[in-house]
Amino acid sequence: MKRAVAALLLLAALPLCGGVYPQFGVETFLGGAYGLFSLAPWGGVRVPLAPTSSLIVKFRRQSIAFDVEDDEGLRRRHKSSLNMFTGVYYYQKKGLDMYAALFQMFGSDGYNASGADIGLAVRLFKGLAAETGFYLLNEKSNLWYPDEALRRISTYVWHIGAKVAVLPRLELHPQLHFGGNNEKVGMFAYALGLNFTPRDPIYISLAYQRYSENDEYRFSGNYFSGGINFYF
């Protein structure tokens, strides 16, 4: 709780720097055999550093719910929450977008984590951009197995994708994800998204994702996500 208050105080103080632009939105994610549901409102600010670069600071509050099955096959609904504080360096020049983010997370039942996320997108020609990114997470968690003890888990995910303009302000967003963790669990996912910008600064996204793992983990399945975000 103290960390959350400190994060909000920092966000409140940033407008004193001048030249600050708000960003905010809400995102949701649901699906799978165990009824995973996630809702995550977030807010932050963008501080221009130069004509081609910005610093973004944001705070995200995520609520998660899913079914837990006991040894007798009976299910109960498990709920948890996570707080995420992120700092992002963003660079944009004609035909090139790059970002590098560091984040800290903490939540219910002793959860805490830190990580990094980097990526870039290159516009190949009008209406088509290729992208790639790499994500690292080091967490102390029993988030997905609440009946077990907390343990340290390190996860990595690499993704590649494209953004294809189909209409003005409307684009398709296919992606492939490859990853794993220190418990020798590998994962693969493919996704197809649709991004719509009816007018600046509104950004609406919808996506379908098929996720699979090489172990008897409960979250393989079909998922849907959506969000409405405002980027000033």
> Tell me, what amino acid is at 137?
L
Specify the pLDDT at position 24.
98
Domains and CATH numbers, the chain: 2-231 (2.40.128.130)
Quick check: bond before 201 cis, omega within 30?
Answer: yes
Q: What is the SS3 assignment for 1?
A: coil
Specify the pLDDT at position 228.
98
| Contact of 66 with 78, CB cutoff 8 Å | yes
Which tokens belong to 227? 């969000």
> Tell me, what amino acid is at 206?
L
Q: What is the SS3 assignment for 108?
A: helix
Specify the pLDDT at position 191.
98
Q: How far is CA 192 from the centre of its chain?
A: 16
Specify the pLDDT at position 210.
97
pTM for the model stands at 0.87
For 16, which DSSP code? G
Cβ count within 10 A of residue 179:
18
Per-residue pLDDT of the chain (232 residues; tens, 9 = 90+): 455 445 544 554 554 455 899 999 999 999 998 899 999 999 999 999 999 999 999 999 999 999 988 877 789 999 999 999 999 999 999 899 999 999 999 999 899 999 999 999 999 999 999 999 999 999 999 998 888 899 999 999 999 999 999 999 999 999 999 999 998 889 999 999 999 999 999 999 999 999 998 866 568 899 999 999 999 9
Q: What is the SS3 assignment for 5?
A: helix
Specify the pLDDT at position 218.
67
Give the whole-angstrom CA distance, residue 180 versus residue 205.
26
